Amino acid sequence: MKQALFLIFTIIGSINTVHPQSPSPTAQAMQRQGFTDIRNMDSTIQVSLMYAKADNFTGRILYKDLREAYLHPQAAKALVHAQKLLKNSHPELSLKVYDAARPMHIQQIMWDVVAGTPKHIYVSNPRHGGGLHNYGMAVDVTLCNAQGDTLPMGTKIDHLGKEAHIDREELMIKSGALNPQALANRRLLRSVMRQAGFKPLRTEWWHFNFITRTEAKARYKTIK
């Protein structure tokens, strides 16, 4: 009787066991090219890739099979450091990644959307070598609370407009286009990212580069 019960429980347990899915083809390609899944380094960092959903400036799902955020190992290590800095000062908060390493064919789709429009200044042209996302050396990131809800930043992430420019924040405060809490959140994000070695992008409060484009082109290959 005991042996029969043991067999039944063993079968039930095997049925209920959830086996992790194997990496998608895009994830496998990222791994082969030497990029690191940041949540394998720090599982407390939140990830919600904006181009895996249609709610982005292109209005399309660009990442068909990618849900993980990959970075060059050096940039991934720095992002983990930024998360630790944030947790040390604000334990209730976390970094939340919206985009990281980006294949060049995705960059081309994004460029095609803005080419010939005033919005082209916000997207790197693949013909000129792309941007640092295409080397795994840039990350789009915000702050969120313990429930994963993003903090107010004045605009949605991926907002292509002057309201997202970090050099216009004081003017926006005076005009009422940006409230003090959103500005404080932006400054906190920039503080921890800068301390970890990242540099902010003037036109996008959420975008941070780990190295310069000149250095990336000289030392690394773009993501296929």
Tens of pLDDT along 37-69? 999 999 999 999 999 999 999 999 999 999 999
| Whether pLDDT at 13 is above 60 | no
pLDDT attached to residue 22: 84
In this structure, what token pair is assigned to residue 206?
Answer: 């959420």
Query: Which amino acid, one-letter code, is at 216?
Result: A
Which is nearest to 50 in space by CA: 206, 224, 211, 172? 206
Over residues 75-132, the pLDDT tens digits come to 999 999 999 999 999 999 999 999 999 999 999 999 999 999 999 999 999 999 999 9
- Predicted TM-score (pTM) of this structure: 0.89
* 185 dihedral zone (left: phi>0; alpha: psi -120 to 50; beta): alpha
pLDDT band at 3; cut points 50, 70, 90: low
Asked if residue 18 has pLDDT above 70, the reply is no
What residue segments make up the domains of the chain, in order of their start?
24-219
Q: How confident is the model at residue 20 (pLDDT cuts 50, 70, 90)?
A: low
The CATH code that applies to domain 24-219 is 3.30.1380.10
Give per-residue pLDDT as tens, 148-188: 999 999 999 999 999 999 999 999 999 999 999 999 999 99
CB proximity list for 34: less than 8 A, separation 6 or greater? 72, 73
Split at pLDDT 50, 70, 90, the class of 17 is very low
Residue 28 scores a pLDDT above 80: yes
Tell me how far apart the alpha carbons of residues 105 and 9 are, in angstroms, rounded to a whole number: 49
> pLDDT for 177-218, tens place per residue?
999 999 999 999 999 999 999 999 999 999 999 999 999 999
